[in-house]
Amino acid sequence: MLIQNPPDIASSEITDEHAYLNRRQFVRGVTGTALGVVAAGLVPGTVAEAGDVGQQEIQNVKPGPFRTDEPQNSFEDITSYNNYYEFGLDKRDPSRNAHTLTTSPWTIQVDGHVAKPADYHIEDLLKGIAFEERVYRLRCVEAWSMVVPWVGFPLSTLIKRFGPTSGAKYVEFTTVLRPSEMPGVRRPVLDWPYVEGLRMDEAMHPLTILAVGLYGKTLLNQNGAPVRLVVPWKYGFKSVKSIVRMRFTSEQPRTAWNKATPNEYGFYANVNPTVDHPRWSQRSERRIGRFFRQATLMFNGYDDQVASLYNGMDLRRFY
């Protein structure tokens, strides 16, 4: 169920993280993020230190639209069970290894079919941004899922600032590539750097956000600090982490997993329980923290909001 106009509930009133604040694995997994510096500099008094975990608390976060009322996964679940192959293939590797990533300073290159191409410092990109909490389902193509309370803002907010031209049909996103800080890229699992993409109407959809935090605090490195994409109706591999480039193109981008195994990972990656992965079914999923599997929902449960984007398309062909 989606709640489009939720009551004004602060993030701090939703859950209790006390049980996780003293976990040493999170202390090891944290570096200072650019967002803390940014917010402290742009909006004095709105960001405070978040205790021993090393994150920054993001204050004045408003509840956003399209929130699911499903139980949220714990802070521990979300920050210790991750796919971020640049730091290792095991789900626990990112929380063990991602502390090596330097996230401040941070610059995002914007180029292609836009009126304002430039290398933007993150503090300039986030200037004047109103942060929202978006409680979204996250569905992995490996048939597991979570419910995550992201902090972020609509991607469309930035796209409008860049002034895309008529030639901009797609947006290509690139993850940072630093072999000295990312032990996983020493293995040729993918054609690094990690690249993903969206059609422009998908990128402009109000459900699509750039996330800068979760559970009311700045992102940990293993979750994609300092800024990542979140597209809740698509499989998790579309939600590219630690973004350093946004390129506006006229042609469909060649994306990382689609290049690696095109018969398994399509460009669109919409959650569709009727289209199986060649090696397993997508009809059910394992919600992390629960014992029993549950049915997978079309478009991850966001069909009322996004199905119209794909009218007339064969969703088995364009998977």
Bond from prior residue into 232 cis (ω within 30 degrees of 0): no
What is the per-residue pLDDT across 84-135, written as a single tens digit (0 to 9) for each? 999 999 999 999 999 999 999 999 999 999 999 999 999 999 999 999 999 9
Average pLDDT over residues 4-30: 35
Through-space distance between the first and last CA atoms of the chain, rounded to whole angstroms: 25
Distance (Å, rounded) from C-alpha 160 to C-alpha 181? 33
pLDDT band at 54 (very low <50, low <70, confident <90, very high): low
Predicted confidence (pLDDT) at residue 8 exceeds the cutoff of 50: no
DSSP 8-class letter at 105: S
C-beta contacts of 311-317 below 8 A and 24+ residues apart: 315/268, 315/270, 315/272, 315/274, 315/275, 316/272, 316/274, 316/275
- Quote the CA–CA distance of 215 and 51 in Å, as a whole number: 14
Q: Counting Cβ atoms within 10 Å, is residue 111 exposed (0-12), middle (13-18) or buried (19+)?
A: middle
When pLDDT is averaged across residues 220-245 and rounded to a whole number, the result is 98
Segment 182-209 mean pLDDT: 97
Is residue 170 classed as helix, strand or coil in its secondary structure? Answer: strand
So where are the chain's domains? 2-310
Q: How far apart are CA 179 and CA 235, in angstroms?
A: 26
What's the CA gap between 259 and 263, in Å, rounded?
10
pLDDT score recorded for residue 2: 46
* Better-scored residue on pLDDT, 223 or 65: 223
| Residues 236 and 139 sit within 8 Å (Cβ to Cβ) | yes
Extract the tokens encoding 129.
């941004």
pLDDT value for 298: 98
2-310, CATH topology level: Sulfite Oxidase; Chain A, domain 2 (3.90.420)
- pLDDT at site 67: 87
Strand partners, 112: 248
- Alpha carbon distance 33, 53 (integer Å): 12
- pTM, 2 dp: 0.85
To the nearest 10°, report the CA torsion of 129, 135, 141, 143.
170
Number of helices (H), then strands (E), belonging to the chain: the values are: 9, 17
pLDDT band at residue 206, thresholds of 50, 70 and 90?
very high
pLDDT at 246 over 50: yes
Confidence of residue 65 (pLDDT cuts 50, 70, 90): confident
C-alpha–C-alpha distance, residues 46 and 44, integer Å: 6
Confidence class for position 35, pLDDT limits 50, 70, 90? low
Residues forming a β-bridge with 145: 139, 287
Residue 107: other Cβ atoms inside 10 A: 15
- The pLDDT score that the predictor gives to residue 211 is 98
Overall average pLDDT of the 299-310 stretch: 98
As a whole number of angstroms, the distance between CA 245 and CA 253 comes to 13
* C-alpha to C-alpha distance for 104 and 92, rounded to whole angstroms: 24
* Proportion of the chain above pLDDT 90, given as a percent: 81
